[in-house]
Amino acid sequence: MSTPKIHGIIGYTVTPFGANGEGLDLDALGRSIDRMLDAGVHAIAPLGSTGEGAYLSDAEWDQVAEFSIRHVAKRVPTIVSVSDLTTAKAIRRARFAEAQGADVVMVLPTSYWKLSEAEILAHYQAIGASIGVPIMLYNNPATSGTDMSVELILKIFHTVENVTLVKESTGDIQRMHKLHMLGEGQVPFYNGCNPLALEAFTAGASGWCTAAANLIPQLNLDLYQAVQEHDLQRARELFYRQLPLLDFILKGGLPATVKAGLELSGLNAGEPRRPVFALNQSARQQLQTLLQTLG
């Protein structure tokens, strides 16, 4: 099994809803994907935290996965988040995504009960044994309630053949240094914490998984390019320019802030699904000011 070359800016999509957060607006989803592709992002990742994958019915999840993969149409790799509470449901989603043509599936060990390391490893082993596409292991304790140590991540990486990529979202740069050192430089890792983008790239991250590409793709891409060209001064300037917006969308909640930003830029993606609130008027004005500053 060969892993597609995943690098650079990986754009995370929202899931646009109709009125009152009900029904899917696939037309708006297609337009949001096209905006990122036209800007030049290097991969598209539907159904993550930004895409409210946890709030969709199985039928809706299937629709969004199928539509996104077909709409991207192999123009860039597609990374589909298949996380679910049970191993069986995650396997169902992973198989569905693979059947539709996903290049990679992303797995976050979400749980209600705290999982032991043996349970987490078995979860990845079962999913890996059920599909033939690469898996991006995803560590994000803020949303999953599970924090995988670097040692556990490497154990899974070396045990499960198709776990070939790691997304690290703790916001702790030392994790990335440790992944690089203990993994002897052989573990492709990706940054999932927006305010850590510059440090992550300099620590050797292969890419930046970000919802900011919905709003400021060119700045994201320019930062990556500056790092590739080893122009640290320009990379710093580009990073500090976008940092206020990166902080804002993270602290305000990605579905609410990114959907509000899309609407302010002319693409109505609806509101987040309850219990998540849409951005209030004061925050919308703050976001508009930030976007105008960057425009």
| Active-site annotation holder among 12, 124, 138, 224 | 138
**One-letter identity of residue 123:** H
How far apart CA 188 and CA 60 sit, in angstroms, is 31
Reply yes or no on whether 138 is catalytic.
yes
- Binding-site residues: 50
Phi then psi for residue 191, to 5 deg, are -85, 130
Q: Which two tokens stand for residue 222?
A: 């320019």
Cross-strand partners of 136: 106, 165
- Binding-site residues for pyruvate: 50
Reply yes or no on whether 178 is catalytic.
no
Question: CA angle, 174 as apex, 2 and 106 as ends, to 5°?
Answer: 35
Q: Which two tokens stand for residue 102?
A: 């996903």
Number of other residues whose CB lies within 10 A of the CB of residue 90: 23
> Which residue in the block uniquely carries the two structure tokens 């629709």?
63
**Is residue 33 within 8 Å of residue 45, measured between CB atoms?**
no
| Active-site annotation holder among 5, 55, 114, 167 | 167
**One-letter identity of residue 152:** L
Helix axes 217-228, 232-251, angle to 10 degrees: 140
Question: CA angle, 79 as apex, 53 and 96 as ends, to 5°?
Answer: 65
Active site residue ranges: 138, 167
